């Protein structure tokens, strides 16, 4: 399968999975309105989706480094969709938490394997990886539109209709499973040319990702409520805010890949964060519709380094690319959820705008950490020894990876 076709399939599949990450935040206003949840209770739903995912993604990364698990792609896609689809069926808060946690587990299982396959399919191209990342942004952007179209029409009882993207995404995974033999041949070359792990740099990069995660999840959870307050209680205004947040991320992802092809990744990541800090300050301080402008700028700033940080982590930890992806790609959308109850509690005690104000500091911390990092020497991603591919590739079995 050609690189372009592989990346397109991976990108669309990524969109079908990440729609369920965006759906959690998109459901928050409806849970508040229909079930009477407070800010802290609503943010607990985000926590439930994030907590299990944040722990599980590195575990799945370790497993995919050790064994070939192509079946994870369709199975995890279905799991992510079924969890969200069932989250609105029961009025029980506990069952809602269980359902979104199951969805988070599916998302956790998908990302390390898909990021590993995307790295191989991209063959060292930052732009190709940015297109893979773009698929996730599109999924996030579609989430509030999809949730609004389904839930606003008939309430949370219609949430089972939200399983449709998962069904589509799982089907799209099948050609990638059949094409895995060629990609695993490329993996053998990447592993053979790995120069060694730089764990200290990887840890600092992981901290950068944590700071970014806090900002992104905080905004995605509460910016719709902030927009509703600023625009006179309009539910459509809140949905529009989430749409701007995710579409701005789509622009930032593609821009980040293009910039990294011209300059090095660390430099591009480093200078995206000061701009993000200014934009977040605008969100919480500037009144009126200007919120949407600053939200778009903050989103682009947060997503310029998104795919670059994934490949940086893999190049800092070349012998464990699945683990690296599980931490960097997973923490990007998971660890921030662990802080959402704190933001929600502060919002209950003060206001949403006040609760979001501490987020301004997070991009500054990311910038300071990035000043201590340098561009790693990336291995050659061009496949030269396809004959060394796993002979069981394409079987769909869980087979050991040779080291």
pLDDT digits (tens, 9 = 90+) for 297-308: 999 999 888 878
- The DSSP annotation for 157-183 comes to GGGGGGGHHHHHHHHHHHHHHHTHHHH
Give the whole-angstrom CA distance, residue 359 versus residue 79.
32
Q: What is the average per-residue pLDDT within 187-201?
A: 61
pLDDT in tens, 311-334: 888 888 887 877 787 777 766 556
Q: What is the average per-residue pLDDT within 119-138?
A: 76
Task: Outline where DSSP puts E strands in 62-126.
Answer: 67-68
Identify the pLDDT of residue 186: 46
| φ and ψ of 285, to 5 deg | -115, -30
CA angle 32, 36, 41 (to 5 degrees): 70
Q: Does 386 score more than 60 pLDDT?
A: no
Is residue 42 exposed (0-12), middle (13-18) or buried (19+ Cβ within 10 Å)? buried
pLDDT in tens, 96-127: 888 888 998 888 888 878 877 877 777 767 77
Q: Was domain 3-376 assigned CATH 1.20.1250.20? A: yes
Give me the residue spans of the domains in the chain: 3-376
Residues 6+ apart with CB under 8 A from 126: 256, 257, 260, 261, 265, 307, 308, 311
Joined together, the tokens standing for residue 186 give: 């490329």
* DSSP letter, residue 386: G
Average pLDDT over the chain, rounded to whole? 79
Taking alpha carbons only, the member of 166, 163, 140 closest to residue 18 is 140
Greatest mean pLDDT among 68-77, 157-166, 237-246: 157-166
- The DSSP annotation for 328-348 comes to HHHHHHHHHHHHHHHHHHHHH
Contact 343, 221 (CB under 8 A): yes
Contact 108, 52 (CB under 8 A): yes
Identify the pLDDT of residue 383: 42
Contact 311, 126 (CB under 8 A): yes
The model's pTM: 0.69
Q: Dmax over Cα atoms in the chain, in whole Å?
A: 64
Q: Quickly count: other Cβ atoms within 10 Å of residue 157's Cβ.
A: 12
| Length in residues, the chain | 403
């Amino acid at each position: 399968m050609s690189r372009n076709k592989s990346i397109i399939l991976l990108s669309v599949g990524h969109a079908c999975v990440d729609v369920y990450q965006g759906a959690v935040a998109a459901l928050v206003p409806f849970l508040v309105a229909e079930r009477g949840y407070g800010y802290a209770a609503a943010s607990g739903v985000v926590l439930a989706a994030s907590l299990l995912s944040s722990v599980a993604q590195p575990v799945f990364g370790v497993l995919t480094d050790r064994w070939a698990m192509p079946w994870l792609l369709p199975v995890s896609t279905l799991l992510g969709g079924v969890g969200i689809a069932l989250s609105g069926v029961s009025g029980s808060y506990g069952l809602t938490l269980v359902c979104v946690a199951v969805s988070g587990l599916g998302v956790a299982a998908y990302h390390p394997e898909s990021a590993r396959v995307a790295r191989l399919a991209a063959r060292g191209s930052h732009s190709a990886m940015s297109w893979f990342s773009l698929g996730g942004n599109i999924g996030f952007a579609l989430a509030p539109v999809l949730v609004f179209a389904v839930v606003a029409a008939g309430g949370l009882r219609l949430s089972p209709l939200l399983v449709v993207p998962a069904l589509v995404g799982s089907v799209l995974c099948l050609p990638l499973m059949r094409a895995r033999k060629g990609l695993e041949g490329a993996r053998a070359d990447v592993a053979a040319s790995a120069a060694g792990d730089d764990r200290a740099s990887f840890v600092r990069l992981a901290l950068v990702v944590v700071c970014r995660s806090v900002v992104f999840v905080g905004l995605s959870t509460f910016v719709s409520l902030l927009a509703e307050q600023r625009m006179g209680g309009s539910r459509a205004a809140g949905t529009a805010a989430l749409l701007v947040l995710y579409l701005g991320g789509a622009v930032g992802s593609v821009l980040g890949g293009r910039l990294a092809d011209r300059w090095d990744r660390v430099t591009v990541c480093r200078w995206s964060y000061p701009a993000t800090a200014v934009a977040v300050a605008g969100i919480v301080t500037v009144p009126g519709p200007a919120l949407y402008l600053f939200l778009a700028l903050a989103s682009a700033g947060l997503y310029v380094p998104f795919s670059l940080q994934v490949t940086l982590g893999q190049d800092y930890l070349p012998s464990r690319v699945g683990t690296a992806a599980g931490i960097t790609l997973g923490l990007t959308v998971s660890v921030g959820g662990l802080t959402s109850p704190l933001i929600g509690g502060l919002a209950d005690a003060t206001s949403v705008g006040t609760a979001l104000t501490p987020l301004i500091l997070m991009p500054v911390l990311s910038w300071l950490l990035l000043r201590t990092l340098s561009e790693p020497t990336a291995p050659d991603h061009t496949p030269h020894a396809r004959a060394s591919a796993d002979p069981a590739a394409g079987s769909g079995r869980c087979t050991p990876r040779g080291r």
